[in-house]
Chain A
Amino acid sequence: MLNMNQIDTASSAWVNTDEKIRKVGDEQHPAYIIETPYFQYNGDGIDLRVYPQLDGRIKLTDNAMTAFELKFLNLKVGHDSQLDLHIKQIISGTSVKIGTDGELYCLVSHIADVSHAKHELMQVVLAVGGLGPI
């Protein structure tokens, strides 16, 4: 039987081990990758990326990966009105936006808002990615 100390250690180890944030890119093209502890339905890890914008804001994005994965479930973002409506409902009330190719992203003006934006984006990515049959 697990005791609480084991559960605390296991859960913090999992979070500390499996989320990695790496700085990549060069001075001209800086970027960060967030390797999250979460997975697509096919076992592939979910990554988010962070890019600076020309207007000084920060963009957190799934790089349209969620929309790409939905194709394997025969769901095509932008070509299926019911799917698009579901996605619209999911992102409604959040700071997440959807691009023309299905990219899910947030734009942040202050560094202090990055954490919350990441949380919202992750929630949306998981919800949209879960729209297919399980």
Chain B
Amino acid sequence: MKLVHDNLTQAQVEWILRVQKSFVDPKQVDYIFERIKHQGFTRMTLDADVTGVGSDNQLIVEFFRQRDAKELRPKYTISLRFKTYGLQLLRLDIGGRHKNPDERNVRTYNHIHLYGPGKKHDLRARKLTVNEQQRIGSPEDTFIDFLKQTNIDIRRNYFAKHESN
């Protein structure tokens, strides 16, 4: 499918999220899971390339966590975006603050940015639904859920290792 990255339709965005995708290098994914699982207080930027939407449309999934003090509520971001163009398709902000253009006050709430129409595609965010909020668990669990929701195939090897621990 020919995609105009800065002018995607709603149908195209939904198709990109729905189509089965996979990681270019499964070892990158293993590394990400291990780092998230054993994270300490350090800042983390972890990413892995994703394919499945056409050779011109390589994607990248990224986990970003700022350095957190021990008592702090979790604050991290998981995003899926075009690798070459940077444009965000879907972004989950846990523990972040956000204000939509038509809102007066900023609020702290778990929210999702989805690629939207117009010039600034990631300006708007919505609150997580009850179902989505219930699925938020540890950063590792949330990352796994994000990959499932965006149909990025997780290698079975990971789950075999994970379950045996």
Contact = CB atoms under 8 A, between A and B. Distances in A.
B45 A42 contact: no
Contacts of A42: 88, 113, 120, 122-123, 125
Nearest to B77: A68
Contact of B123 (A17, A43, A101): A43
B86 A74 contact: yes
A63 B86 contact: no
Contacts of B41: 29
B124 interface: yes
Interface of B is mostly: loop
Interface string A49-88: 1010000000000011100100111110000000000000
Interface of A is mostly: mixed
B96 interface: yes
Contact of B101 (A37, A43, A45): A43
Contact of A72 (B101, B106, B122): B122
Nearest to B64: A68
Contacts of A68: 45, 64, 77
Given A45-B99, A64-B45, A72-B81, A30 B123 contact: no
A52 to B, nearest CB: 11
A26 B71 contact: yes
Contacts of A21: none
* Interface hub of B79, B97, B113 (most chain A Cβ within 10 A): B97
B24 interface: no
B43 A26 contact: no
The 7 nearest A-B residue pairs measured at CB: A25-B69, A74-B86, A45-B97, A63-B66, A31-B69, A24-B69, A42-B122
Interface of A: 17-18, 24-26, 28-31, 33, 35, 37, 39, 41-45, 47, 49, 51, 63-65, 68, 71-75, 101, 103
